[in-house]
Structure 1
């Protein structure tokens, strides 16, 4: 039996020295019992073989059952996993940080399970440790996990080096686990997030419209597609828009608002947003207005290119040019001609989506 230090931490404003002590112990190959948003877990350095062997031993866990990694930022998944599918980004966008563990193809192994917990204490410990941290639930293998410190510590008082009592975990239920390496994806464990919620997000199509300023063409396309989907009673498509070159937070042009008002659509609340990698990652279909937009995305993020189409191309509209010209600074008649083309395109793609 080893000596253990138990500290009580404020879950909303945890004492820095406790977090630093926990991180240092993990870096030294120790085991730390920590709260998460789901249940209490035991954190260890994934790269320390002795720590991992000890963790398997105290949990009496079969060696073929791997431990999941906890990370402190979504972006870190790029350093851990490969061939990340669009559905993964949709699930991460919706449920991370939170009680969802995702299984990916790994860079160093065949597969790896990863989660971003919604718990300040655990996130800060991971950040301070500067290593990849595994954190299985604090229970003997086959026994129920608990969100109560008293239940979690009872079997590990002489087995872990440090323990943080932050009161009851928020959820008290283990995370749901989704295997993204299976086709179609598989719900390995239904935990805090119900299967229906996961599947609804996974199989909803994300359509992203891109133009230059996100004040005219992409706004028209987004608003009109949303209207058509609503008229058809469909909720299986999510529509967003963005611009390549603009100041975020700008409204739609007056001409755009006027034309959409004629369709019974109010876009007075629209605020422009810049195209980001995050938007591209989670979009199943990316529809652009001009060849220059497609080329710019090719330069910025070639990984998304097989999901990028010119709107007129995707709508299978024939003609000498597949570009939809920018009406900014032009007459209301030019705007109207542009909107007619966009409306025609949207009506054609309704059966494709």
Structure 2
């Protein structure tokens, strides 16, 4: 077999050059191509002969899970029968396109690996092929991955149809592989994306906001933590390990101000210690980080939408009945208790979704 070498400038190439290469994949051929991590070998998943040949040239075991490479995140829905898990969607939104392989349940009892590479040559090739592309790394099984086309040529010249030389890969390391089942996120292989980043981005972050972050929103944060921990039968300290980050802030708050005395006493009567709370101002980064934002009044909601219109779909009044929870500051103890009880009732109606 003659292996054709196609050298492309990753910053400036004619996509028409990929037309015959895409057809080659479609017709059952094997094509090595660059990604931002390592070189891969593409094959048509729905062509059994192509898959058999791919496994053979790599000396791969027959049961090897072959990762599907896609050219846009919406394509995930084509390959799984279930709803995309929330934590998978978070990683998709934050880290794709990029060096992350996500393994999900396929709906038939098996698993499916998906990768959206941050490399134009790779994505253009996938689109041009018009088929479902699977692509293990372009190396013999058990050997180091290839970061340059020359390594691929040495290993596979005369064994595959095309090698696209797109220069050295950007990261020169493999993708990070994550398996997600329900709310459980497991890093199977740490690669270009550190494990800590994966876990940070996979948190479900709930943000409560009021004005000064010394009364209503810290009450809401404390009650939510308390009820959520009870729901899962864990301590509040274990919520982050469970994948939840619960925070609060104020639209006009300063930093480091403790809760007012009436709030501390009210929370004590509810069996919750809130003395360590320190206020923090609402910022665009907090809004961006949050998955759910609950405001006490319409004015808080309006401020979030004004600052970040794209957050509209994740900001809500805490009260499901559109009740305005007014600031109790300066009021009597009965005022604080009434406010806390109202907030608790609202949270009890909200918490089932978490």
Corresponding residue of 2:152:
152
Q: Gaps spanning 5+ residues in structure 1: where?
A: 210-220, 243-254, 261-265, 280-285, 290-310, 314-321, 325-336
Distance, in Å, in 2 between the alignment partners of 1:268 and 1:78 is: 29
Distance, in Å, in 2 between the alignment partners of 1:9 and 1:287 is: 46
Assess if the C-alpha contact under 8 Å between 1:70 and 1:115 holds in 2: yes
> Which shifted more, 233-242 or 47-56?
233-242
TM-score, normalised relative to structure 2: 0.66
> Which shifted more, 128-137 or 231-240?
231-240
Aligned-residue Cα RMSD (Å) equals 3.8
Distance apart, 1:206 and its partner CA: 5.2
Distance apart, 1:12 and its partner CA: 1.8
Distance, in Å, in 1 between the alignment partners of 2:54 and 2:183 is: 32
1:192 and 2:243 correspond: no
Matches within 5 A, 1:145-294: 145-181=145-181, 184-205=184-205, 225-227=248-250, 232=277, 238-239=289-290, 256=299, 270-273=307-310, 288-289=316-317
SS in 2 for 1:113: strand
Distance, in Å, in 1 between the alignment partners of 2:25 and 2:309 is: 44
SS in 2 for 1:141: coil
Matches within 5 A, 1:25-36: 25-36=24-35
Cα shift readout 1:158-209 (whole Å, capped 9, x = no counterpart):
1110111111011111101011137632211111111111111112425699
Corresponding residue of 2:15:
16
1:134 and 2:185 correspond: no
Corresponding residue of 1:110:
110
Change (3 A) 1:268 1:84: closer
Corresponding residue of 1:7:
6
Corresponding residue of 2:48:
49
Q: Gaps spanning 5+ residues in structure 2: where?
A: 210-219, 221-246, 257-276, 329-335
Distance apart, 1:13 and its partner CA: 2.3
Distance apart, 1:240 and its partner CA: 6.2
Cα shift readout 1:210-268 (whole Å, capped 9, x = no counterpart):
xxxxxxxxxxx9xx9433897557999933689xxxxxxxxxxxx959x99xxxxx879
Assess if the C-alpha contact under 8 Å between 2:85 and 2:183 holds in 1: no
Change (3 A) 1:104 1:208: farther
Distance, in Å, in 2 between the alignment partners of 1:34 and 1:144 is: 16
Distance, in Å, in 2 between the alignment partners of 1:155 and 1:195 is: 31
Question: Number of paired residues?
Answer: 270
Distance, in Å, in 2 between the alignment partners of 1:182 and 1:271 is: 29
Distance, in Å, in 1 between the alignment partners of 2:106 and 2:87 is: 16
Distance, in Å, in 1 between the alignment partners of 2:100 and 2:254 is: 29
> Which shifted more, 199-208 or 160-169?
199-208
Pair member with larger Rg = 2
TM-score, normalised relative to structure 1: 0.66
Assess if the C-alpha contact under 8 Å between 2:207 and 2:248 holds in 1: no
